[in-house]
A and B are shown apart, each in its own frame.
Chain A
């Protein structure tokens, strides 16, 4: 009886030990999180405040380098009074629309071509060299051609964004299809799958890991495509806003538009991360997650 009481006592002591250990570990994790956030805020503050002070005291010339306050004022002015080509929101929407359409066109065509060439070696052998040649070209320059062909409107920007996106997605889809586990394909065939079923149930989902990895880069490219397209010739859009600011030596305007584009890209990236998490829910939780988050 007393021995039993002793052992349960020891058990409880062990349990409370466990609890305190766990609590301590949690506290450590929390503390670290707080420290990281504090560090991040400090870095931002030092840079912004340093820039502002330097601009005020004349260490750097605000005419060429702008100043944080100047950027805020410029953005506020745009939002209130609009730009030379209509409301600021319209410019944002135009760029966003071009990026999204370009992204969709590029991703869909990239996946279709990548899977087709990956599945049909003859096509891959025939088209391989040409795709490499086109990929080696500085594709941004194609934007000039597209503006000449399609005019200053939306289609030329969509096409440029789509071309940039296409190659990233295409190569990943192709590689993904090529690296499908042969045993999985053999097994599906023996189980009675037709060629189309093999592609649908085995090849495509397997390549999806690769394709999704490419979408992050593709997203960035779609925004770059839209902005550069607007730079090269357009009637609306953030690219045009930047080009105009550049021509009038309005540094605050360039930085302000840049900031907005950055925010757009960040929120798109956030949506993409959510999507990726959903699509790849089946994957085992790797150790790599934390480092990716850290970056």
Chain B
């Protein structure tokens, strides 16, 4: 098994240019990054090993891989929440030493403060950066209108549906006009229809600001439908197995219907070939662990 995997798909000419921000901010560069965690009992666990990954400014990069392969770790490194054990992480050309400037994060669970109304939640970003309260709220109001939630400003998060909360999360993340947007399985808790709608809206919003995006998901269709580039991570400790350029034209239009596109299916097949081995490997490992646990349990 080689590290390069199947040959990358040929790049469509000209498309890359349209997706690039002119100011060059938001590019992410991970070089030979390894991250080890030390568990409370003192055992070391390698989450990712020797990951090299480049996301151009304004590029939409999806990261797929089996469960527990360290996809989320990659995001926390790019956000500056964690420091790499080895290797270097650079964002917008600067090495990451603390919380990355110009980054926003969208979590799987919506990280909204349940005790603040929606408007205050969205206004948090500008307020933390020193904008005065009234101005921050005014901008938050604009953003809520943009994501289609005008009239819900004074609702508490728990009064909204999952999809609406996700819109609030998006507004709260984008209001800081990030040059880099990090998304950790943002739509996986939504039902299928809401998910499709949110995917379309994400693309529309992304198109306005063109931040670079790292979008972690376990859903290959979602990855291909949204991204310029799909990166396959191996079973943990994760490392980059293969990268695929997605040369589907933009605007993608309806993410639901692009799945019937012939090129989409080709790409799906190629990437799935690369991903399947890793999924099988991860599954085999967990079942081995389960067997061992069972055997150990049997002895006791």
Chain B interface secondary structure, helix, strand, loop or mixed? loop
A-B contact pairs, 18 of them (CB 8 A): A186-B76, A186-B107, A186-B111, A187-B107, A189-B99, A190-B99, A190-B100, A190-B104, A190-B105, A191-B128, A191-B129, A193-B124, A193-B128, A202-B113, A205-B115, A283-B114, A284-B158, A284-B159
Q: Is A291 an interface residue (CB 8 A)?
A: no
Q: Is A17 an interface residue (CB 8 A)?
A: no
What's the minimum C-beta distance from B129 to chain A, rounded to whole angstroms?
4
Q: Is B125 an interface residue (CB 8 A)?
A: yes
Contact A183-B113, Cβ < 8 Å, known A191-B172, A191-B176, A192-B128: no
Q: Is A201 an interface residue (CB 8 A)?
A: yes
Most buried by A among B81, B99, B111: B111
Do A201 and B107 touch across chains, with their CB atoms under 8 A apart?
no
Interface residues, chain A, CB within 8 Å of chain B? 181, 183-184, 186-194, 197, 201-202, 205-206, 208, 282-284
Kindly report which residue of chain A lies nearest to residue B176, judged by CB atoms: A191
- How long is the Cα–Cα vector from A82 to B81 in the complex, in angstroms? 67
14 A-B pairs besides A184-B113, A284-B158 with CB distance below 8 A are A181-B109, A184-B111, A186-B76, A186-B79, A186-B81, A190-B99, A190-B100, A190-B104, A201-B113, A205-B115, A206-B115, A282-B114, A282-B156, A283-B158
Q: Is B116 an interface residue (CB 8 A)?
A: yes
Which 9 pairs show the lowest CB-CB distances between chains A and B? A187-B111, A192-B128, A282-B115, A193-B128, A191-B125, A192-B129, A284-B158, A183-B111, A190-B105
Kindly report which residue of chain B lies nearest to residue A197, judged by CB atoms: B128
Do B103 and A190 touch across chains, with their CB atoms under 8 A apart?
yes
Kindly report which residue of chain B lies nearest to residue A282, judged by CB atoms: B115
Contact A190-B113, Cβ < 8 Å, known A197-B128, A201-B124, A282-B156: no
- How long is the Cα–Cα vector from A283 to B111 in the complex, in angstroms? 16
CB-CB under 8 A from A192, the residues of chain B are: 99, 125, 128-129, 176
Do B124 and A188 touch across chains, with their CB atoms under 8 A apart?
yes
CB-CB under 8 A from B159, the residues of chain A are: 284
Of residues 4 through 21 on chain B, the ones whose CB sits less than 8 Å from some CB of chain A are: none
CB-CB under 8 A from A202, the residues of chain B are: 113
- How long is the Cα–Cα vector from A208 to B79 in the complex, in angstroms? 29
Do B107 and A183 touch across chains, with their CB atoms under 8 A apart?
yes
Choose one: A190, A191, A283; the contact of B81 (CB below 8 Å). A190
Interface size band for B = 20 to 34
- How long is the Cα–Cα vector from A282 to B156 in the complex, in angstroms? 7
Do A191 and B104 touch across chains, with their CB atoms under 8 A apart?
yes
Kindly report which residue of chain A lies nearest to residue B111, judged by CB atoms: A187
Do A189 and B176 touch across chains, with their CB atoms under 8 A apart?
no
- How long is the Cα–Cα vector from A190 to B178 in the complex, in angstroms? 10
- How long is the Cα–Cα vector from A183 to B115 in the complex, in angstroms? 15
CB-CB under 8 A from B113, the residues of chain A are: 184, 201-202, 205
CB-CB under 8 A from A284, the residues of chain B are: 156, 158-159
- How long is the Cα–Cα vector from A283 to B158 in the complex, in angstroms? 8
- How long is the Cα–Cα vector from A186 to B76 in the complex, in angstroms? 9
Kindly report which residue of chain A lies nearest to residue B182, judged by CB atoms: A190
Do A186 and B105 touch across chains, with their CB atoms under 8 A apart?
yes
Kindly report which residue of chain A lies nearest to residue B158, judged by CB atoms: A284
Do B109 and A188 touch across chains, with their CB atoms under 8 A apart?
no
What's the minimum C-beta distance from A210 to chain B, rounded to whole angstroms?
13
- A-contact bits for B66-92, CB 8 A (1 contact / 0 none): 000000000010010100000000000
What's the minimum C-beta distance from A275 to chain B, rounded to whole angstroms?
15
Kindly report which residue of chain B lies nearest to residue A187, judged by CB atoms: B111
Kindly report which residue of chain A lies nearest to residue B101, judged by CB atoms: A192
Of residues 143 through 195 on chain B, the ones whose CB sits less than 8 Å from some CB of chain A are: 156, 158-159, 172, 176
CB-CB under 8 A from B128, the residues of chain A are: 188, 191-194, 197
Do B116 and A282 touch across chains, with their CB atoms under 8 A apart?
yes
CB-CB under 8 A from A191, the residues of chain B are: 104, 124-125, 128-129, 172, 176
- How long is the Cα–Cα vector from A193 to B98 in the complex, in angstroms? 13
CB-CB under 8 A from B115, the residues of chain A are: 205-206, 208, 282-283
CB-CB under 8 A from B104, the residues of chain A are: 190-191
Do B105 and A187 touch across chains, with their CB atoms under 8 A apart?
yes
CB-CB under 8 A from A183, the residues of chain B are: 107, 109, 111
Most buried by A among B103, B107, B109: B107
- How long is the Cα–Cα vector from A91 to B158 in the complex, in angstroms? 48
What's the minimum C-beta distance from A189 to chain B, rounded to whole angstroms?
5
Kindly report which residue of chain A lies nearest to residue B103, judged by CB atoms: A190
What's the minimum C-beta distance from A1 to chain B, rounded to whole angstroms?
40
